[in-house]
Structure 1
Amino acid sequence: MRCWAEINIDNLYENIKELEKIILKEKIMAVIKANAYGHGITEICKALIKIGIKNFAVATVEEALKIRQINSEVTILILGPIENEYMSKILDRNIYFMITDFEEIEYIEKKGINVDVFLKIDTGMGRVGFQEDEIPELIEKLKNCKYVNATGVFSHFSSSDSDEDYTKLQEKRFKEISENIMKEIKSVKYRHILNSFGSLKYHDSEYDFVRTGIILYGGVTEEETLPYKFKPVMSLYAKISHIKKLHKDSFISYGNTYMAKKGDTVATVSIGYADGVRRDLSNKGYVYYKGHRCNIIGRVCMDQLMMLIPEELAESAKKGDVVEFFGKNINIVEVADLCNTISYEILCGISSRVPRVYK
């Protein structure tokens, strides 16, 4: 293989054990949308079911159906809006979806779709869900519904990793709204708002599920999650395909953005932006190779990139050697910071042509 993503299931299990220091296992709702954040939805789902995880969250109907093919009993909640025509198609699969506006309620009632749903409340994310001033009308409509059976209510933090005051405000709003709904609509039994960082800071709150995403995969730093420690589940590797010692000063890669010097040893690595290595890393990223952090030089290409070999490794470097882009030696958050993004995007961006190797 020219490049591959190694998925460490043991680290996944260690992260679950760490979560169990915070919350009960039966409250863990593993978020495995976007191909389990790039890790492989089928394999991650099977691995988690094996150790007793029974609740899963996804973003799409297709993802939900994939999980249902794997297991007929686990609870599945679709976190993203679904098109109306899919509502009746997943009834017999025991898959929950969310209601976000009055139009969806009217559609279900008109079509006579007898369904259990979760109510999505917008407490400050500003994405989807019923707004606070719509709750009285929502409650009255639900009281008169023949087919919409509201079984749960949930919301989503927008800034639980960065804005404590706003997060507390969101939780206060959710607590008040959800208690009001549960008092009036007796079918509502479940509520949840905590996500990964929310679970670390507000785990004393009484919620039925905790939606764990990025911490499940270890896409965080130790400083962010102290005193808890989450291990990286994915590591990204590629092989050196070519090595040359320059006979004269020479530009490297497209656009002549880097001038290498005579005598430099330059290695070509078989991975590029089509594999998920961001072009943002051109001339500022680095890889881990034989105990050294080696600079990425020139622009990252579609299928390849170049790195500068340190003088002390010039004689020992050879074709076929493996370099690490992130994993045990380079935290993915470092890579994300260099790209002015977040670890979630880096993980989800590792393309399907990169083989996943499970260990």
Structure 2
Amino acid sequence: MGLKDFKVKVFKENILHNYHYLKELRNKDIIAVVKANAYGHGIENVVNFLADAGCRYFAVARECEAEKILKLKIADINIIILETIDELEFIKNNKNVQMVVNSLKELKELLKNGISTKQLHLKLDFGFGRNGVIEEDFDSLKKLVIEKNLKFKGFCTHVFAADYDDMILIEERFSQMLMELGKERFEIIHIQNSAGVISIEGKNCTHIRCGTILFGLQEIGYYDPCIKRAFKLTGKILGVKSLKDLKYIGYEKKENIEIGKYKKIAKIRLGYGDGFSKRSEGIMSIINNKKFKIVHISMDSSFILVDDSVKEEDFVEIFHDLEESIKHLKVPHYEFLSCINDRIKRELI
């Protein structure tokens, strides 16, 4: 790796702090959601040190993510696949891998194919429209569960609403359905997403399901000052050139870029080939504790308008101000951080 390449610095102690803090806050064990490369933080490293800290449940979205965890050969952990999967042999061949049941039809097919309910988490959908057994199918679900005396690994939903009152309604309806099915049928019960973890109690739950909040990425409107951020994207200035000597900045003609008072341009080794989207053109970087605008992003490099204080090999940080980046990109932080791909090394700090 070149000395001037970018890297994601992952603050291990901050993630461990968040893990222990949230566990104590709700007095419940944690299901660590590590999909999308642990939201850009590096799935293998994160699973390794959280397992060492006592975490026994990890949730992912795809089989390929579960396979990465299996290759770590960590004993006594459970891997929950949140999305529907097609390769049922994968579940049959890996007893510590479980999957979420996302419809009544899917449950019937899984039972028909001999999948053990001890590897299944039954999920309800309260209008999210993404995954889970819908409410209108609940009576049929209840009949099937009781007639076959089914007992599952887990029972869950997704508290997706940003509105607190809606969260409470979902929690109450979920608890009602849980009692109708029989709480004793489920080994673990979980409903909260990251916003829900810090805003509702999680009545009848045995576990809390923590994703972005575990990494210090908090939803706007749901803020806990005890949560610590763990992601830092940083590198060095590759070179600095005078603008007067240039006709182009990357692939863009100089006159098409609003240069303002600046007389120099700095190049960094980070581009959209690394998952740093061209939509990030216009965001601010931090160099020597000052803000400088990124004005052009190519596949393998980007360009920043700078002043005379910036020199080659100075450190630069991207996405320093997450709220500012969210407003510019008009997407949540977990979207643009997860996009930073494997060309950028993850370094545990």
TM-score of the superposition, structure 1-length normalised?
0.87
CA distance in 2, matches of 1:300, 1:88: 42
Deviation at 1:3, TM superposition (A): 1.1
Q: Quick check: 1:279 aligned with 2:278?
A: yes
Q: Match of 1:201?
A: 199
Give the aligned partner of residue 66 of structure 1: 68
* Matched residue, 2:303: 306
- For residues 329-353 of structure 1, give each alpha carbon's deviation from its aligned partner in whole angstroms, at most 9, with x where no partner exists: x233432321110111112100110
Distance 2:124 2:221 in 1: 31
Q: 1:11 to 1:222 in 2, by over 3 A?
A: farther
Where structure 2 has 5 or more consecutive residues not aligned to the other structure, the ranges are none
Compute the displacement of 1:165 (Å).
Answer: 2.5
Q: Which of 320, 333, 344 is the equivalent residue of 1:343?
A: 333
Secondary structure of 1:260's match? coil
| Aligned-partner SS, 1:303 | coil
Q: Which amino acid aligns with 2:227?
A: F
The one-letter code of the counterpart of 2:59 is A
Matched, 1:109 2:111: yes
Deviation at 1:107, TM superposition (A): 2.5
**Contact 2:274-2:343 within 8 A present in 1 as well:** yes
Instruction: Judge conservation of contact 1:124–1:170 (CA < 8 Å) in 2.
Output: no
Distance in 2, matches of 1:163 and 1:277, equals 32
Coordinate RMSD, CA, aligned: 2.4
Alignment of 1:254-293 (within 5 A): 254-256=251-253, 257-260=256-259, 264-282=263-281, 284-293=282-291
Structure 2 residue identity aligned to 1:346: F
Aligned position for 1:171: 171
Deviations 1:278-306 (A, max 9, x none): 21121x21100001011112x31111111
1:81 paired with 2:81, answer: no
Answer yes or no: is the 8 Å Cα contact 2:274–2:341 preserved in 1.
yes
- Segments of structure 1 that go 5 or more residues without pairing to the other structure are none
Deviation (angstroms), 1:181: 1.4
Moved more, 163-172 or 37-46: 163-172
Residues 294-323 of structure 1 show CA distances to partners (whole Å, capped at 9, x for unaligned) of 1112x311111111113xxx0x43222220
Q: For 2:64 and 2:310, locate their aligned partners in 1 and report how far apart those are by CA, in whole Å.
A: 45
Q: Is the 8 Å Cα contact of residues 150 and 188 (structure 1) preserved in structure 2?
A: yes
153 and 356 in structure 1: CA distance in 2 versus 1, 3 angstrom threshold: same
Asked if structure 1 preserves the Cα contact closer than 8 Å seen for 2:145 and 2:181, the reply is no
Deviation at 1:17, TM superposition (A): 3.3
AA aligned to 2:310 is: A
Paired residues of 2:233 and 2:317 also in contact (CA < 8 A): yes
What is the rounded CA distance, in whole Å, between the counterparts of 1:87 and 1:246 in structure 2? 57
1:100-127 deviations in Å (ceiling 9; x for gaps)? 2233333333333334111111012111
8 Å CA contact retained: 1:246, 1:264: yes
- Quick check: 2:14–2:229 contact (8 Å CA) kept in 1? yes
- CA, structure 1 residues 207+249, in 2 after alignment: closer, same or farther (shift >3 Å)? same
CA spacing shift, 1:260–1:84, aligned 2, 3 Å: closer
* 1:99–1:286 distance in 2 versus 1, CA, 3 Å: same
Matched with 1:245 is 242
Q: Identity rate of aligned residues, in percent?
A: 27
Question: Contact conserved, 2:123 with 2:132, CA < 8 A, in 1?
Answer: yes
- Per the alignment, do residues 204 and 263 of structure 1 end up closer, same or farther by CA in structure 2, a change over 3 Å counting? closer
Q: Which residue of 1 aligns with 2:132?
A: 129
Matches within 5 A, 1:302-341: 302-310=299-307, 314=308, 316-326=309-319, 330-341=320-331
Q: Give the SS at the match of 2:272.
A: coil
TM-score calculated relative to the size of structure 2: 0.89
- 1:82 is matched by which residue type in structure 2? I
Deviation of 1:249 (Å) = 8.6
Contact 1:30 1:56 in 2 (8 A): yes
Q: 1:190 maps to which residue?
A: 188
Mapped partners of 1:263, 1:82: distance in 2: 53
Shift of 1:66: 3.0
Count matched residues.
342
Structure 1 residue 79, shift from structure 2 partner: 1.1
Change (3 A) 1:5 1:50: same
1:18 aligns with 2:21: yes
8 Å CA contact 1:58, 1:64 repeated in 2: yes
